[in-house]
Structure 1
């Protein structure tokens, strides 16, 4: 899953805690890259818990859970509200995989 703000994808994880942050926006789980965490006030973009106001939410199996107070509710997002995660000019995952395989295997891209 790419960063919801800039579209960059996570690279192979290093040992330890991930610098990426999870959040919920428009009732959907999103990831936030370290750069966007530094450059933007994400608390303005992310959904908040209805009980305690925290932005430390996770979304799974149609439910949104607050990591601060433990409140759980049903996610009720309309699919039409969810913005596309693919930005213009950002390669798709399949294009990224093809390019990585070409680099590793020494192939030239076919076009």
Structure 2
């Protein structure tokens, strides 16, 4: 999963914990790269109880890692989102083809 802000791809750290952080934006779990953590965390969702942006989204609920508050996630039809990053479906298709050893399916118009 790339950084939600700049699109950088996460790589495995040499040792220790990853410097990447998780967050929630529009009720969706996102990753934030180290560079974007310093300047672009204002558009992440925040906890309604304590204001922290240390949230995780799972199985229909959002939990605050700061205070432990849990709330139901909003239904997708109640949200206004920008959708998946451009080109993501093509990247996923190519990765699956590499892993599964399949030939890429022709695209419409090719």
Normalised by the length of structure 1, the TM-score is: 0.71
Query: Pairwise mapping of residues 14-93 of structure 1 onto structure 2 (< 5 A)?
Result: 14-38=14-38, 40-42=39-41, 44-78=42-76, 81-87=80-86, 92-93=91-92
In the alignment, structure 1 segments of 5+ residues that lack a partner are 102-111
Alignment CA distance shift 1:25-1:77 (3 Å) = farther
Segments ≥4 residues shifted beyond 6 Å: none
2:87 & 2:47 partners in 1: Cα distance?
32
1:5 & 1:87 partners in 2: Cα distance?
12
In the alignment, structure 2 segments of 5+ residues that lack a partner are 100-110
1:13 & 1:97 partners in 2: Cα distance?
24
* Shift, 1:62, TM fit: 0.9
RMSD of equivalent CA atoms: 2.7
If asked which structure has higher relative contact order (CA below 8 Å, sep 6+), I would say 1
Normalised by the length of structure 2, the TM-score is: 0.72
* Shift, 1:13, TM fit: 4.0
Residue 24 of structure 1: SS of its match in structure 2?
strand
Residue 85 of structure 1: SS of its match in structure 2?
coil
